[in-house]
A and B are shown apart, each in its own frame.
Chain A
């Protein structure tokens, strides 16, 4: 790698007074060789959307829930929790490196179930993380340092765009297993099993617990059972990403089924959780990272190492969101309200899927749109090709990612007909 040309400063004659303004000769920079980074594909969509002046424009890019008026939705249980917390007049002292204990406990219980044998025996460790991304990164760093027997992480094809750079930056290598079948816009079960059966032992396999991002395609329970058997047979290390618990089906236990099943089957999994979507706490960065261990003693050792990993990144996590989440999960009336609100969000999404299909039929579309209602969660892989997506954006001001993914959360009863019309036009 060529070294930078010298960053020496071109001094003009004499010394500067500290209060001089513009230097007579522009100094060269240490950063002349820094490349312009490519724009983020998903956030770039929002930027283009903002610039569009069409009153009918729709932003179906980024995955944040919107209500039926297309507005961000602050959950009522969140506002109540915030008011409760404000009354307590708490101090702002540093949290422990591993985060708010109350939160960690509630977070683990939510995922694993309060009757979980793992929790009863204390053979897992959950640390508070900076939402889902932070959790995945801690997990990736942990594996990079301690899972020295294998360097490969197998992602489903496709997966969330940020998975790849996260694991790569942690020093791991990325591979893929078949997942999405573009012909059916559904799960390529046979392809997945075929590929998984060839994964070298001890490799890490990433699994989306529910509401697969970006496709919305989830395995059925019988299919999960077979996957679990195969993963066991191949002796793979399962890493679950659960960013949508409750948000997918509306039922938190149902959405956690795969994670809990794997654990029951004896897999000691890694698990990332996010509360960005299911509690609408996006910007507060609330998440958890869990390692299920052999026993409590191992969990203690693993915990100590997680702290060593966290300290040089951000020392300890932010309080606000974790406090809100913990309050909701451990206050019975708030927890009840939360479950209702999550179900409300999931139901609205499901309804929009149904309305989109109904409207497409009304438009006279002859294509099979069943995948729109078969798929689950925030996202829908429409099956639209890049040229069709481009037309949809240019002619109808409907913004989505080039892969044909739409965020159903951006669809409302007010714009679903318009969307159907646009999709029909570009696909007929």
Chain B
């Protein structure tokens, strides 16, 4: 008899299953437009040149060891990461009311932030505080907040399929109707999965409602620099909210913009109204971290900290980030051009209007199924494609296949 006889088989995580299926596919034309990782024009993973350089430095530095980091992480990493999010001249940083918690990737930062909010926000252990996520959103957002104990996860309108753009009116209305003190999960830039971001003007409207309704902004910033190629531009929304006097959480990931996916490098930036509140918050963050992973992994944080704090390396990094962003922009332009040239029904402006790694193509599940099964082009059931999976070599095949899908299947 086993204590685990009743344990059911869990469904696999969709995006990883997609990649697994892709790997097993033997068709030479296969294209993976699923999981969100950058690829070069040869469809290869890309270790950033600056990362290679700093890794070499680390390996050769015999004075470095593998001792435990402090619970909250490597101090230079925490401060330089928060500076990246909020800006060199950030008044909040100057006022010493900004703190960072080094976490395991963006997921880890979301997790620690969510856990903290459940314990300490809007009362103690208030699992009833509503948490709002966009429709659609990254599929793990729901999981993170549920796992942290929140029982009332709601959605705010975000993607408007007919216009293939932002459902601003619905978004603002949902915020207006949200109970005071609700937690609002916002994508700082390069919305996943739609690639559709509010304009600066629209962000100002969003902030306005949130201030009036006393809503808590929790930013997910997984693509800073990767979206537009500019760190400042991609951080505009976060910085605007801070300038408006909000206390915020910002979960930062360095998986994509540093290409450090498997080293799990993330930072939870906390902006509080003053240093005294911040200090107490950080002591409680330590308690959460201690029972989850005790202290974070050293390698990736060292890499990022050295890069961000060494002027020549920082410049080189920004260049590498721009290389990635530019390739994505090129693929967007080319895909749109090809679809238009083929006369594919529908409008395809959204391909270039959207930003970041992903595009919500607007393809429906049947069309997606056709692409996977008949064309060996792997994408999410939602119609989300990873632009990085496109290359100059597969562009024609993908465009023609999309054309076929749209014309054959209603």
The interface residues of chain B lying within 8 Å CB-to-CB of A93 are: 37, 45, 261-262
User: Chain B nearest CB: distance from A304 CB in Å?
Assistant: 4
User: Chain B nearest CB: distance from A295 CB in Å?
Assistant: 8
B262 and A316 contacting across the interface, CB-CB below 8 Å: yes
Identify which of B35, B290, B296 contacts A162 (C-beta below 8 A).
Answer: B290
Taking CB as reference atom, which chain A residue is nearest B104? A314
B299 and A2 contacting across the interface, CB-CB below 8 Å: no
The interface residues of chain A lying within 8 Å CB-to-CB of B347 are: none
B4 and A30 contacting across the interface, CB-CB below 8 Å: no
A133 and B291 contacting across the interface, CB-CB below 8 Å: yes
A134 and B293 contacting across the interface, CB-CB below 8 Å: yes
Binds A, one of B60-68, B166-174, B184-192, B323-331: B60-68
Interface residue tally for chain B (C-beta within 8 Å): 90
| B143 on interface, CB distance cutoff 8 Å | yes
| A14 on interface, CB distance cutoff 8 Å | no
A318 and B71 contacting across the interface, CB-CB below 8 Å: no
B292 and A134 contacting across the interface, CB-CB below 8 Å: yes
The interface residues of chain A lying within 8 Å CB-to-CB of B272 are: 29, 31
Binds A, one of B224-232, B277-285, B337-345: B277-285
| B193 on interface, CB distance cutoff 8 Å | no
The interface residues of chain A lying within 8 Å CB-to-CB of B4 are: 146, 291, 293-294, 298, 301-302
User: Chain A nearest CB: distance from B270 CB in Å?
Assistant: 9
| A202 on interface, CB distance cutoff 8 Å | yes
The interface residues of chain B lying within 8 Å CB-to-CB of A293 are: 2, 4
Known: A137-B293, A315-B140, A320-B299. A30 touches B247 (CB 8 A): yes
- Complex Cα gap A137–B111 (Å): 14
B240 and A97 contacting across the interface, CB-CB below 8 Å: no
Q: Which residues from 125 to 158 on chain A have a C-beta closer than 8 Å to any C-beta of chain B? A: 130-134, 137, 146-147, 149
The interface residues of chain A lying within 8 Å CB-to-CB of B105 are: 314-315
A-B CB pair tally, cutoff 8 Å: 263
A312 and B143 contacting across the interface, CB-CB below 8 Å: yes
- Complex Cα gap A276–B298 (Å): 12
Binds B, one of A33-41, A382-390, A411-419: A33-41
The interface residues of chain B lying within 8 Å CB-to-CB of A64 are: 67-68
A314 and B284 contacting across the interface, CB-CB below 8 Å: no
User: Chain B nearest CB: distance from A204 CB in Å?
Assistant: 10
B66 and A283 contacting across the interface, CB-CB below 8 Å: yes
Taking CB as reference atom, which chain B residue is nearest A133? B294
Q: Which residues from 1 to 43 on chain A have a C-beta closer than 8 Å to any C-beta of chain B? A: 1-4, 6-9, 11, 16, 18-23, 26-37, 39-40, 43
Known: A94-B261, A285-B293. A34 touches B68 (CB 8 A): no
The interface residues of chain A lying within 8 Å CB-to-CB of B104 are: 130, 313-315, 317-318
A31 and B281 contacting across the interface, CB-CB below 8 Å: yes
Binds B, one of A78-86, A221-229, A350-358: A78-86
The interface residues of chain A lying within 8 Å CB-to-CB of B279 are: 36
User: Chain A nearest CB: distance from B109 CB in Å?
Assistant: 9
| A72 on interface, CB distance cutoff 8 Å | yes
A26 and B274 contacting across the interface, CB-CB below 8 Å: yes
Q: Which residues from 160 to 191 on chain A have a C-beta closer than 8 Å to any C-beta of chain B? A: 162, 165-166, 168-169
13 intermolecular pairs with C-beta atoms under 8 Å apart: A22-B95, A27-B245, A30-B216, A30-B247, A83-B59, A149-B3, A280-B66, A282-B67, A298-B4, A301-B10, A312-B140, A312-B144, A320-B297
**Further pairs besides A237-B3, A300-B9: 13, Cβ < 8 Å:** A4-B121, A29-B272, A34-B280, A36-B280, A37-B283, A40-B71, A91-B47, A94-B255, A281-B66, A283-B295, A304-B12, A312-B148, A320-B298
The 10 lowest CB-CB distance pairs between A and B, nearest first, are A37-B283, A283-B298, A314-B104, A133-B294, A312-B143, A91-B45, A294-B2, A319-B262, A130-B293, A312-B147
